[in-house]
Chain A
Amino acid sequence: MRLLLVEDDKELGGGIRKALMRDGDHVDWLTDGEQALVAIRSEDFELIILDLQLPGMDGISVLRSMRREAINTPVLIMTARDTVDERVLGLDSGADDYVVKPVELKELRSRVRALSRRSHGFAAPAIVLGDLRIDNSTQQVWYRGNLVELSRREFALLCEFANRPGQVLARGQLEESMYGWADGVESNALEVHIHHLRRKLDSQLIKTVRGIGYRLDAENAQ
């Protein structure tokens, strides 16, 4: 999925970006509040991790502005402020979750996954589509009762499809969520990952929609 990380601490931002990219998510990282608001307005993110103390514009103002403009992207506040009043202020300003620094990677990951899951309308940690079962918390995939070994990138790509079952996902949209503007796009990387998924799961699971992109068809897979 495509994430926006707004964090002005270079080491922390870099570390989080690296960790989430390793999971196969695409992370755009900005260090300035105003720039973040511009990006939020123009780009389509699935989730935003937002620090509160930022140069340019503070996190609460960014959050309020985007909510005022009816941008409903889930926001996870990650800050050093930990009093009850500050948490309440953050959540009441429109945040979906609040985590206090320092946070362990596994906790951050699980919060990101939980937010993403809920924003797609799933409450249970596992997504079941026909014979396909994706467990977000353990990052395991079962197909027809068998555990399937997937790389992190393959798992992330499958989640993109699973979050929007039946929908046609455009090539460009998928590429953006996988690699984003900050990466050098390898021309056939998407095809390679799709190919691997079809080989490991089922050749009929991901259908090619000619000229547009791909679609997950879990119900009708043979």
Chain B
Amino acid sequence: MQKMHNSPSLRRRLTWYVVIILATLTVMSGTAIYVGTTKEADEVFSAALVQTARILDGFITRETIARDHQRLQRALERGPTAHEYERNLFFAVFDADRNMLLHSSQAPELPAQDIAPGFSEFRYQRRKWFTFALEASHDDLLIVVGERSGARQEITEYIGSGLLLPLILLLPLVLWVLWHIVGVALRPLQAVTDQVRQQDLRQLKVIDVEGVPGEISPLVTALNQMIVDLDAVYLRERRFVSDAAHELRNPLAALLINIDNAIEESYEREVLDTLQSMKVSIQRLSHLVSQLLALSNLEKAGGSVDFEPVDLAGVCASAVAAAGTRAQAKSVTLDWQMPAAACELSGSQALLESMVANLIDNAIRYCDSGCRVVLRCRREGKALLLTVDDSGPGLDPEQLSRATARFYRAGDTNLTGAGLGLSIVENIAKIHGGQLQLGKSTLGGLCASLRFEID
């Protein structure tokens, strides 16, 4: 998976948006409930206060107070309290001079002089009290009924938290569910991503539009158009290389034949020398064209090579035999060490032959006369190892890193190679799931080793 530090995740963003909206909604509805409940509770409690005041008004007169004061006071002070909320409620009765005549046991000390009929609030012992004062209908009494404000708040808080708490607790769950739902919804996008990632440049395939959601289908359609265009460009490029190489062959063939003609018809030593060196150049060009075509065909074939069981040792043996004359001509000793165990892998015989031939060709080409080239092939656990060692000049680290680049030729540029050999070797190795490694040989020169995993 590629790192996506700079690109925001659609999933994360969507989830956050929904969570923020949900949280805002929760807070807003919570506030509305709180305010509404507080107001409603106020109404109910105020009504109750008024009601109580009116009942007291109906029963309490100067006469009943004077007659039953002792009994009333006793009844009011009788403990224990029957309900914890009792403590929050009180009543008191004043005469016209604001002397308290009668009061319930929890009644606070009221600022009697300030009490006016109707609703009012006051503080006593750091607590807020709501009171309702009513002028008695018979005597000039003032009936005050009160209630501690905490009671109302408790109720509204209770109602509010009862509604809000589940919402707050549910939020993580909602977040989790959302995360997964968004993930599921975005799955088609992942499928498209996978299809794009699996594209092989050699065999570009259009992405399946079926099942792709409407939101990303324009993107997929655009991608498909790009893939079609890209495929056309790639095909054209491959054709160009192959056509160009192909078209080069006719004039090259004519040049070669006519130079051969001139050589046969000429008797002057100097002219012959010139013609011979021209011929060498043409052979070099021909080699280049062949290698270019081979590389182009390799890239064209890519994944569509037919595999069969191939004996790598056999391929090596015949490649060594084929290169014998060239090695002899350059006085290079070519050794082939037969492996003890079978070296079979699944691959293309023709391509593997070309690969080994190119490796040997490369070694002989860069070796001076008298050098030694050793080809080895062996099985190592679940892998096949093919190495070509030479006692030639080798490559320095800087050259090593560039050796498989196309048209790269180390050292003496008068050498006849086209610089495509190792590129071809690497391509063929890749087709077979192998890897080319270049390093220093124990013989002193270059060691090219190929490793193929087999099962």
Question: B33: which A residues are within 8 A, CB to CB?
Answer: none
- Interface pair B260/A102, CB less than 8 Å apart: no
Asked, given contacts A11-B254, A80-B246, A102-B255, whether A18 binds B261 with beta carbons under 8 Å apart, the answer is yes
Question: A83: which B residues are within 8 A, CB to CB?
Answer: 297
Query: What is the chain A residue whose CB lies nearest that of B258?
Result: A15
| Cα of A15 to Cα of B142 in the assembled complex, Å | 140
Interface residues of A in 97-117 (CB under 8 A from B): 100-106, 108
- Interface pair B350/A103, CB less than 8 Å apart: no
- Interface pair B253/A81, CB less than 8 Å apart: no
Query: What is the chain B residue whose CB lies nearest that of A82?
Result: B293
Question: A102: which B residues are within 8 A, CB to CB?
Answer: 249, 252-253, 255-257, 282, 286
Question: From residue B454, how far is it (CB to closest CB) to chain A in Å?
Answer: 25
Contact partner, A105, options B250, B251, B261, B293, Cβ 8 Å? B261
Question: B256: which A residues are within 8 A, CB to CB?
Answer: 102-105
Do most interface residues of chain B lie in helix, strand or loop, or is the interface mixed?
Answer: helix
Q: Mark B283-304, 1 if CB is under 8 A from A, else 0.
A: 0001000100100010000000
- Interface pair A9/B261, CB less than 8 Å apart: no
Question: B251: which A residues are within 8 A, CB to CB?
Answer: 9, 11-12
Question: From residue A151, how far is it (CB to closest CB) to chain B in Å?
Answer: 14
Question: From residue B27, how far is it (CB to closest CB) to chain A in Å?
Answer: 74
Q: Mark B129-170, 1 if CB is under 8 A from A, else 0.
A: 000000000000000000000000000000000000000000
Question: From residue B329, how far is it (CB to closest CB) to chain A in Å?
Answer: 16
Question: From residue A4, how far is it (CB to closest CB) to chain B in Å?
Answer: 17
| Cα of A209 to Cα of B252 in the assembled complex, Å | 47
Contact partner, A81, options B246, B254, B258, B260, Cβ 8 Å? B246
How many A residues touch B, CB cutoff 8 Å? 23
- Interface pair A84/B350, CB less than 8 Å apart: yes
Tell me if A127 counts as interface (CB < 8 A to partner B): no
Tell me if A174 counts as interface (CB < 8 A to partner B): no
Question: B200: which A residues are within 8 A, CB to CB?
Answer: none
Tell me if B210 counts as interface (CB < 8 A to partner A): no
- Interface pair B261/A12, CB less than 8 Å apart: no
Tell me if B264 counts as interface (CB < 8 A to partner A): yes
Question: B253: which A residues are within 8 A, CB to CB?
Answer: 9, 12, 78, 80, 101-103
Asked, given contacts A103-B256, A105-B260, A106-B260, whether A12 binds B250 with beta carbons under 8 Å apart, the answer is yes
- Interface pair A82/B258, CB less than 8 Å apart: no
Interface residues of B in 222-277 (CB under 8 A from A): 246-247, 249-258, 260-261, 264-265
* Leading 6 A-B pairs by shortest Cβ distance: A105-B260, A80-B249, A11-B254, A12-B254, A15-B257, A101-B253
Q: A19-B257, A78-B253 are in contact. List 15 more A-B contacts (CB 8 A).
A: A11-B258, A12-B250, A15-B261, A80-B249, A81-B246, A83-B297, A101-B250, A101-B252, A102-B249, A102-B253, A103-B256, A105-B257, A105-B261, A106-B260, A108-B257
Interface residues of B (CB under 8 A from A): 246-247, 249-258, 260-261, 264-265, 282, 286, 290, 293, 297, 350
Interface residues of A (CB under 8 A from B): 9, 11-12, 14-16, 18-19, 22, 78, 80-84, 100-106, 108
